[in-house]
Structure 1
Amino acid sequence: MENVRLNVALLRRKVPNLTSAAKSVGLRPATVSNLCTGKIPVSRAEVRTIIALADLAECSLDELILRGEKIDMIETKIKAIDLFAPLTKGGTNGLVARPGMGQLVILAELYYRLKREGYISIMLSPKVEHPEVADILDHVDFTVNTIEEAYQKIMELGQNKDIIFTADRGHVANGNIQDLHNKLEKVGMNTVTTFLLDLSGEVVDEDLPYGPLETVWQFDADLAARHKYPAINPLQSTSSVLEGAHLDQHHLSIQQRSQKLLRRYRELRSLVQVRGIDQLPVSEIQTYKRGERLEAYLTQPFYVAEPFSGRQGEDVDLPTMLEDIRKLLDGSYDSAEVNSLSYIGSIK
């Protein structure tokens, strides 16, 4: 089928409160979220679902469904992000986490990394004071207090600048973020990549907390508890970059094989914790150990954490990361100690 996807920008503009709107017409918010990010391809959606979304947005099916448009990813050189849920350039990207899972560290690291690539960061101050935000302000180029200030700063920087804009969920609920996106769209400003986060942590209990998103990074409590950072859930995080033909097929194949391995590894891990690894069949022991190695490899030292971790930050470009993981999946590193793969960059 021709490459198709939902017009997420239109949905965001026309139906700001998509969660309640979806429920009101009998749609599951989780289904709508997965359609927006591409986790469920449009080609596999029920016809009634697409029609209901078009009715909610008061648009035609031709307006709701985009054909052939390319979605660009921003390569962060952070392994877990680039593999499982690539950052969507010019899109809206949501972080779903409880406090203490590392979302602010991820943001600070992205500010640092993307600044090297010429990006400029703007943060809209949260509506409620959160002392922990002070820890990342050193990495932000500009802080603004209102949506109007944000708009003026973006316009001042101009079309030729790639901009990272960050806001707390409180500004989403009252429609401020949507108003900003609408104003930017009207003047043809498409160089702004938006991050939305919820510093209260309440976001984890909702299916569609920010409205339509191009990328969702779901943070994982178990990974955070075991100090395996970045604690990005490899099974629940997703991006519209993964949909259709937007991603290189080799990348997509490695991503899918990695998810399959980690899904089984997580199932086996719960058994191993209770009964021990010796109770697993030989074939499952191999799966378990490869999953353990892959999980370790996906940890990564961050530049902004160097003073606290004592580890030098590491970049891993996409081709290198994919080749490392291919070899790991194929068994080339079956003799490697798990600890030797933890908090490294590429495999030397």
Structure 2
Amino acid sequence: MSATDGLMRGMDVIDTGAPLSVPVGGATLGRIFNVLGEPIDNLGPVDTRTTSPIHRSAPAFIQLDTKLSIFETGIKVVDLLAPYRRGGKIGLFGGAGVGKTVLIMELINNIAKAHGGVSVFGGVGERTREGNDLYMEMKESGVINEQNIAESKVALVYGQMNEPPGARMRVGLTALTMAEYFRDVNEQDVLLFIDNIFRFVQAGSEVSALLGRMPSAVGYQPTLSTEMGSLQERITSTKEGSITSIQAVYVPADDLTDPAPATTFAHLDATTVLSRGLAAKGIYPAVDPLDSTSTMLQPRIVGEEHYETAQRVKQTLQRYKELQDIIAILGLDELSEEDRLTVARARKIERFLSQPFFVAEVFTGSPGKYVGLAETIKGFKLILSGELDGLPEQAFYLVEVKEIILSTNSGQIGILPNHAPIATAVDIGILRIRLQDQWLTMALMGGFARIGNNEITVLVNDAEKGSDIDPQEAQQTLEIAEVNLSKAEGKRQTIEANLALRRARTRVEAINMMS
């Protein structure tokens, strides 16, 4: 459980006859503990006499609760394709450096703050720096209240990678014991975050080797399934309350068939698989939409609209995956018109699944976004229906808008990031949006624009993308408008003819800017 420095043969050992017990209850909130339940945050002793043993049985079958409801996270790819169950177990699978810890920190930010209940975080064999980053993040977000610790919403239990294997193997049990008290005694819904379950297995393997047990598959301990079950079966929902567990799982060499992640799969309600291929493309979160699964994605649970949208997204992405070899060998031009359209929509979907995170704002410079489920479904339905086929792929990616040029009643104005808040009438004219090195051009027919908080909202009477306008038809409309103006009689007819001419000229100008 701690360093063995100074121990020697012949030393007296005293058997207390008591199990390893840790403090539980409200006094643990806002504090950091080690595997023995000792505070390690230099804030003094814990003000509680209530303790619980870390080794105990799972709840009896008749105590379990089987209600099914969705746990909204605000992360598009998760909520749409692999929704989480309230009171369930969720695994975040991925190799080194694909974003497991960032995703779990974003989930803590989104869920713990909106959840309103209590949370317990177990740091199992991970980096000390990450534990410190998480502690600072929680203080900044108010989940840990420095001024009044009693009002904090989370307890932290750390057994980092410099700890002995015995400590790393049991730190998850310590965190779970604290969560069980809130569930069983306080009758609360609890969030349990564990980072990383693979380190729990790894520590068990080290202990097994020290005990001289014969290694099993791929060198793991022969008791792997039993040890995993003793932890996972205690993470469940009872009639008193629920524990919703989100666990990061390191995948050695990106091999999901490795015994450690494979054994974890059997216990989970939802799996979020992180892809190195998507991370290499710069698409974050790098969640693989085809490999990620959830038992909750059923029409009777999520509803027909959600289910149908998710299935169509998966079908489109699966077809794109099947066509990639053909594209690599023969090129995109050799595909049928239908397949080219599928590829275009799949690439837009792939980029639309990306999302800026709150916890990554300091690194990316992009403000984080929480996207509700209804908004997520609506966005993907627009892509699948073809209504957004004219937009470039970059419009669906989390790239920054570099510049906007807008026609107002006072003339054209240029809008850059961090522009001062304004509200203005939009004139008949051109709207240009610069995304990285590409311009998106639209013909607007008057309306209203509001700018504030680094966002722009434009409400218009009518709008057409330059790429959607037929050049021949636009030129004919312009010629007709010029003839009608020359024949106009009276003030009203002249005003109407002038408006029609301005609209026609704007459409032709939008086409010219595209070329």
TM-score by length of 2: 0.50
* Offset from partner CA, 1:208-261 (integer Å, 9 cap, x none): 330321001111221111111111111111111114621211100000000000
- Report the equivalent of 1:90: 87
Distance 1:186 1:221, change over 3 A: closer
Measure the CA separation in 2 of the matches of 1:186 and 1:280: 50
User: Is residue 153 of structure 1 aligned with residue 150 of structure 2?
Assistant: no
- Report the equivalent of 1:334: 389
Measure the CA separation in 2 of the matches of 1:244 and 1:318: 15
Distance 1:190 1:240, change over 3 A: farther
Conserved 8 A contact 2:285-2:355: yes
More helix by share: 1
Q: Helix, strand or coil: the match of 1:125?
A: strand
Measure the CA separation in 1 of the matches of 2:238 and 2:80: 33
Q: Helix, strand or coil: the match of 2:271?
A: strand
Distance 1:237 1:152, change over 3 A: closer
* Offset from partner CA, 1:10-31 (integer Å, 9 cap, x none): xxxxxxxxxxxxxxxxxxxxxx
Distance 1:293 1:171, change over 3 A: same
Q: Helix, strand or coil: the match of 1:335?
A: coil
Distance 1:278 1:180, change over 3 A: closer
- Report the equivalent of 1:162: 190
User: Is residue 74 of structure 1 aligned with residue 71 of structure 2?
Assistant: yes
Residue identity in the other structure for 2:262: L
Q: Helix, strand or coil: the match of 1:113?
A: helix
Conserved 8 A contact 2:71-2:86: yes
TM-score by length of 1: 0.72
Conserved 8 A contact 1:105-1:136: no
Q: Post-superposition shift, 1:93?
A: 0.8
User: Is residue 205 of structure 1 aligned with residue 257 of structure 2?
Assistant: yes
Conserved 8 A contact 2:188-2:240: no
Q: Post-superposition shift, 1:184?
A: 6.4
- Report the equivalent of 1:287: 342
Stretches of structure 2 that go unaligned for 5 or more consecutive residues are 1-60, 139-153, 160-170, 202-223, 401-456, 458-515
Match 1:110 to one of 103, 107, 112 = 107
Radius of gyration: which is bigger? 2
Q: Helix, strand or coil: the match of 1:245?
A: helix
Q: Helix, strand or coil: the match of 2:247?
A: strand
Greater CA deviation, 300-309 or 112-121? 112-121
Measure the CA separation in 1 of the matches of 2:296 and 2:340: 33
Q: Helix, strand or coil: the match of 1:217?
A: strand
Alpha-carbon RMSD across the aligned residues, in angstroms, is 3.1
Match 1:99 to one of 74, 96, 100 = 96
Distance 1:167 1:190, change over 3 A: farther
* Offset from partner CA, 1:270-317 (integer Å, 9 cap, x none): 432343322222221111101111111111011111111111111211
Greater CA deviation, 196-205 or 259-268? 196-205
- Report the equivalent of 1:121: 119
Residue identity in the other structure for 2:130: V
Residue identity in the other structure for 2:119: S
Q: Helix, strand or coil: the match of 2:108?
A: helix
- Report the equivalent of 2:368: 313
More strand by share: 2
Measure the CA separation in 1 of the matches of 2:241 and 2:126: 30
Match 2:247 to one of 169, 179, 196 = 196
User: Is residue 171 of structure 1 aligned with residue 200 of structure 2?
Assistant: yes
Distance 1:161 1:108, change over 3 A: same
Measure the CA separation in 2 of the matches of 1:217 and 1:280: 32
- Report the equivalent of 1:296: 351
- Report the equivalent of 1:142: 155
Residue identity in the other structure for 2:188: N
Distance 1:185 1:264, change over 3 A: closer
* Offset from partner CA, 1:189-225 (integer Å, 9 cap, x none): 5421112223363662337330321001111221111
Stretches of structure 1 that go unaligned for 5 or more consecutive residues are 1-62
- Report the equivalent of 2:290: 235
Measure the CA separation in 1 of the matches of 2:225 and 2:267: 15
How many residues are aligned here? 282
Measure the CA separation in 1 of the matches of 2:85 and 2:307: 16
Q: Helix, strand or coil: the match of 2:354?
A: coil
Measure the CA separation in 1 of the matches of 2:236 and 2:378: 39
Residue identity in the other structure for 1:149: T
Q: Post-superposition shift, 1:121?
A: 3.0
Q: Post-superposition shift, 1:112?
A: 0.3
Conserved 8 A contact 1:130-1:199: no
* Offset from partner CA, 1:93-131 (integer Å, 9 cap, x none): 1121101111111101000001221143322232x3435
Measure the CA separation in 1 of the matches of 2:92 and 2:370: 21
Aligned identity (percent) is 25
Residue identity in the other structure for 1:197: A
Conserved 8 A contact 1:314-1:344: no
- Report the equivalent of 1:257: 312
Measure the CA separation in 2 of the matches of 1:199 and 1:228: 20
Distance 1:186 1:327, change over 3 A: closer
Measure the CA separation in 2 of the matches of 1:340 and 1:108: 27
Conserved 8 A contact 1:98-1:204: no
Measure the CA separation in 2 of the matches of 1:269 and 1:291: 11
- Report the equivalent of 1:25: none
